[in-house]
C-alpha cells in the first residue's frame, strides 16, 4: 500500500485529506510549534449520521502516531478524544514543539487504508458520502501569537459605532 505525504508549513494548506487508499501518512512539519498546536479530525457528517463520541473513540483506537525529529529519538504522539457541548473531537498532537523540522507519521494499526478504517468505524451508513480530513489548529498561549499584525481593511459596513467612542467624563 502506498504512503501519502503532506507538508505542514507556514501559509500552507490547513486541511489534509484522510480519505486516502494508504495505511500511512507522513506529515513533514516545518511550521514551528508556536504556529501549529495540533491536528483535529473533521468530517462533513454529524452525530446523527453516526459520527458521535463512540465513532471518534473507535477511530482513535485504530490509529497510531509517532514523531521523528533529528534532535530526539522517535516518540509516540498523543491521539485523544474529547467531548464538549458541540459534540466530540479527535485530536492528534504534533510532537514536541520546537523550531526544527520533524516528521509526524500517522498509521492505521491494522494495515488497512485510512478510507477503510474511517468508513468501517461504528458502521457508518455506506450510502453516505463522507469527507474526512485533519484540520491544522493554530497554536495559542505564546506571546509570539499575540503580537499586533497589520489589519486587513474591509470594504464592508462602514457605519460609525458611536457607543464605542464615548469620552470619559462626558
Residue % of the chain over a pLDDT of 70: 75
> In this model, does residue 164 exceed pLDDT 60?
no
> In this model, does residue 168 exceed pLDDT 70?
no
Taking all residues of the chain, what is their mean pLDDT, rounded to a whole number?
81
The predicted-structure confidence for 103-154, as pLDDT tens digits, reads as follows 999 999 999 999 999 988 876 666 668 899 999 998 876 544 444 444 555 5
pLDDT-based confidence at 161, cuts 50/70/90? very low
Q: Is 62 helix (H, G, I), strand (E, B) or coil?
A: coil
d(CA 66, CA 30): 16
Nearest one of 62, 73, 80, 134 to 103, comparing CA atoms: 73
The residues, ordered by sequence, that sit 6+ positions from 120 with a Cβ below 8 Å of its Cβ are 112
> In this model, does residue 28 exceed pLDDT 70?
yes
Nearest one of 113, 115, 111 to 129, comparing CA atoms: 115
Where does residue 115 fall: left (phi above 0), alpha (psi -120 to 50 degrees), or beta otherwise?
A: alpha
pTM over 0.95: no
The confidence score (pLDDT) of residue 12 equals 84
How many Å from the N-terminal Cα to the C-terminal Cα in the chain?
72
The predicted-structure confidence for 49-83, as pLDDT tens digits, reads as follows 888 999 999 999 999 999 998 777 889 999 999 99
Amino acid at each position: 500500500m502506498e504512503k501519502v505525504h503532506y507538508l505542514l508549513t507556514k501559509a500552507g494548506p490547513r486541511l489534509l485529506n484522510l480519505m486516502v487508499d494508504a495505511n500511512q501518512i507522513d506529515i513533514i512539519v516545518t511550521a514551528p510549534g508556536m504556529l501549529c498546536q495540533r491536528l483535529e479530525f473533521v468530517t462533513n457528517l454529524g452525530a446523527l449520521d453516526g459520527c458521535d463520541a463512540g465513532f471518534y473513540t473507535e477511530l482513535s483506537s485504530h490509529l497510531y502516531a509517532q514523531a521523528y525529529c533529528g534532535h530526539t529519538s522517535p516518540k509516540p504522539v498523543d491521539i485523544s478524544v474529547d467531548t464538549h457541548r458541540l459534540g466530540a473531537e479527535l485530536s492528534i498532537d504534533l510532537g514536541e514543539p520546537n523550531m526544527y523540522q520533524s516528521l509526524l507519521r500517522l498509521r492505521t494499526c491494522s494495515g488497512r487504508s485510512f478510507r477503510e478504517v474511517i468508513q468501517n468505524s461504528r458502521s457508518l451508513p455506506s450510502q453516505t458520502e463522507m469527507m474526512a480530513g485533519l484540520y491544522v489548529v493554530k497554536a495559542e498561549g505564546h506571546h509570539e501569537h499575540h503580537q499586533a499584525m497589520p489589519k486587513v481593511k474591509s470594504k464592508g459596513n462602514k457605519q460609525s459605532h458611536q457607543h464605542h467612542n464615548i469620552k470619559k467624563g462626558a
